[in-house]
């Protein structure tokens, strides 16, 4: 089913005269087409050799990973330790613990001092209990 406007549009399009392009348009279009063809050609070469480029980069990276520790093991170990995320995480956790133990106060004492005091008293209590048990065990035998 055709619309009535379509017939009118077809008639008007057929009645339009052919227009000529300005003379300076053709060189611009040709330059644009030529530039795109060169870009497509370079892109096709890159796509064609992409697996080779990827494999070469991977091989070079693996060679560097093997050869650097082979020729400079100390530097490789220090570099690994410096860049280790686990050690950076451990350093941050220890820093947070240090901050908590020195800045948190209970009974006007830093928490670190209080923990050390309680640990010391607990240790002394354990030593005293162990020596008392030992003394009682040897006294009972005799």
Predicted confidence (pLDDT) per residue in 14-29, tens digit: 888 888 878 888 888 8
Q: 49 in helix, strand or coil?
A: coil
**Where are the domains positioned within the chain?**
21-83, 84-142
Q: How confident is the model at residue 1 (pLDDT cuts 50, 70, 90)?
A: very low
Spell 1-25 as b/e; 16+ CB within 10 A means b. eeeeeeeeeeeeeeeeeeeeeeeee
Q: What is the pLDDT of residue 83?
A: 85
37-85 pLDDT, tens digit per residue, is 877 877 888 788 888 989 999 999 999 888 888 888 888 888 888 888 8
Q: What average pLDDT does the chain have?
A: 85
Query: What is the full DSSP assignment across 69-115?
Result: HHH-HHHHHHHHHHH-HHHHHHHHHHHHHHHHHHH-EETTEEHHHHH
């Amino acid at each position: 089913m055709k619309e009535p406007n379509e017939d009118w549009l077809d008639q008007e399009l057929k009645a339009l005269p052919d227009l000529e392009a300005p003379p300076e348009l053709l060189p611009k279009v040709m330059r644009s087409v030529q530039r795109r063809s060169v870009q497509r050609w370079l892109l096709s070469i890159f796509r064609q050799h992409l697996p080779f480029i990827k494999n070469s980069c991977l091989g070079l990276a693996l060679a560097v990973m093997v050869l650097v520790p082979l020729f400079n093991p100390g530097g490789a170990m220090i570099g690994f330790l410096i860049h280790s995320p686990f050690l950076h995480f451990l350093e941050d956790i220890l820093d947070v613990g240090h901050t908590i133990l020195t800045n948190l106060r209970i009974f006007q004492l830093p928490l670190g001092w209080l923990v050390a005091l309680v640990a010391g008293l607990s240790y002394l209590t354990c030593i005293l209990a162990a020596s008392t048990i030992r003394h009682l065990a040897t006294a009972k035998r005799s």
